[in-house]
Amino acid sequence: MAVTAPRVAPAPALDVERVRRDFPILERSVNGRPLVYLDSAASSQRPLPVLRAVEQYETHTHANVHRGVHALSQAATEAYEGARERVRRFINAHSTREIIFVRGTTEGVNLVAQSYARPRFGPGDEILISGLEHHANIVPWQMVRDQTGCTLKVAPINRRGEVELDSFLSMLSPRTRMVAIAHVSNALGTILPVKRMIDAAHAHGAVVLVDGAQAIPHSTVDMRTLGCDFYAFSGHKVYGPTGIGVLYGREELLAAMPPWQGGGDMILTVSFEKTTYNELPWKFEAGTPNISGAIGLAAAMDYVESLGLEAIAAHEHRLLEHASRELERIPGIEIIGTAHHKAAVLSFTMEGVHPHDLGTILDAEGVAVRTGHHCAMPVMTFFNIPATARASFACYNTEADVASLVAGLGKAREVFS
């Protein structure tokens, strides 16, 4: 997957068997069958280098950061701040002052909603999102709408599951203060033309937040090329730990924003009369942070780069195309989301078999897929379905995994014949 368009140059092949050996969990069985993990869009598995980095930190280095003069505290601080620099390089931000560690994408979006939007917006102002958004990029803006009296607008999608770009562009106006869009749809896999959307939004003076949760594991994401104002993502979708994520924000915006949460670490001086806030990025990191999470995330980024993002993207794209072809041949299967540009997500329904039943039957075969509304109920409503089954691919998936999925779907057909 590329940021804005499919790449033409052939990427180096991924040695998937070697990659799989890095993920110990893939050796286990589920319900007496070898695990076939096709739910990486919900959470990816962690490779040994990530597990070891966290273990190494926990067994040798742990202390609180930014607080002590003792050796461990210094080492922990160095590792934590080193992780921040690692993230900066990964997304090519200008400065570590632009890298805020948060719990995940959801917290990143909420931080921007409450600290950037809420104090500034009022009646007449507009926030524009798309019809593809995850609840985490809908609800925080509804809260801001209710708190400030501003208006929340939604750019429509088409039957392929793409944002109607013309409608999106026509909904931009000088009233648009914030555009909040997914980079890749979690429910359907659609890759949004974010660069074009960002440029158009900027032409109207709007600030843009991109929900990058589903893009970051599959593509090179470059803040300077993209030019967005905020970009949020989660560690656990890019082979890192849960409970750690990143909010990137342009420094001048972050500098002008009030802190979101108050507490330790985000202050310089405190008296009962007045508190001076810390500098960026610590101003937004109240309390003891998820130190081992940040270290694990940095290790995950090292790992991903060692494989090569282009190689991962090419591998996943081949798998997606292969799986799409295989599923299209099965009578009664309908693929939901047929955008021209898609990342490693395959959402589908099977006639006569509810996705929840599909999920149970596949699980009995050791095949893990997500079933449900994928925290994107408006997308389900648009397609007039209660739910889908979703297979998603990562660097460790193979054509054999797709074959297991197909066999499992055959089993489901058998049960419900």
Contacts of 125 by beta carbon, 8 Å cutoff, 6+ apart: 148, 150, 151, 175, 177
Q: Which of 66, 242, 243, 416 binds another protein (CB under 8 A)?
A: 416
Q: How far is CA 365 from CA 35, 41, 118, 230, in A?
A: 9, 20, 48, 41
Q: From the list 2, 364, 403, 406, which residue makes contact with another protein (rule: CB under 8 A)?
A: 364
**268 is a contact residue toward another protein (CB under 8 A):** no
Is 261 near another protein (CB under 8 A)? no
Q: Is 355 in the site for another protein (CB under 8 A)?
A: yes
Which SS3 state, helix, strand or coil, does residue 39 take?
A: strand
Scanning 82-90, 301-309, 328-336, 348-356 for contacts with another protein by CB under 8 A, the matching segment is 348-356
Q: Is residue 415 within the footprint of another protein (CB under 8 A)?
A: yes
In the complex with another protein, which residue's Cβ is closer, 344 or 380? 380
Cα(218)–Cα(24) distance, integer angstroms: 21
State the Cα–Cα distance between residues 183 and 139, nearest whole angstrom: 17
| Residue 3, φ and ψ in degrees, nearest 5 | -65, -45
| Nearest residue (CB) to another protein, 209 versus 387 | 387
Q: What are the C-alpha distances in Å from 328 to residues 321, 325, 365, 406, 416?
A: 11, 5, 21, 11, 19
173 binds another protein (CB under 8 A): no
Should residue 81 be labelled a site residue for another protein when binding is judged by CB under 8 A? Answer: no
Asked if 371 touches another protein (CB under 8 A), the answer is: yes
**Among 361, 389, 395, 402, contact with another protein (rule: CB under 8 A):** 361
- 256 scored as a contact of another protein (CB under 8 A): no
Nearer Cβ to another protein (31/225): 31
Catalytic residue positions, numbered: 375
**277 near another protein (CB under 8 A):** no
d(CA 132, CA 117): 21
CA atoms within 13 A on the CB side of 159: 1
Q: Does 378 bind another protein (CB under 8 A)?
A: no
User: Between the CA atoms of 250, 256, 262 and 268, what dihedral angle is there, to the nearest 10 degrees?
Assistant: 100
Cβ(222)–Cβ(92) under 8 Å?
yes
Write out the binding residues for another protein, residues 18-77 only, by CB under 8 A.
Answer: 31-32
User: Nearest CA to 113 among 89, 155, 147?
Assistant: 147
Structure tokens at 141: 């803006």
- Using CB under 8 A as the binding criterion, the count of chain residues that bind another protein stands at 20
82 binding another protein? (CB under 8 A): no
| Minimum CB–partner distance for residue 42 and another protein (Å) | 14
Q: Kindly state whether residue 158 participates in binding another protein, applying the rule CB under 8 A.
A: no
Q: Which residues contact another protein by CB under 8 A? A: 31-32, 353-357, 360-361, 364, 371-373, 377, 380, 386-387, 411, 415-416
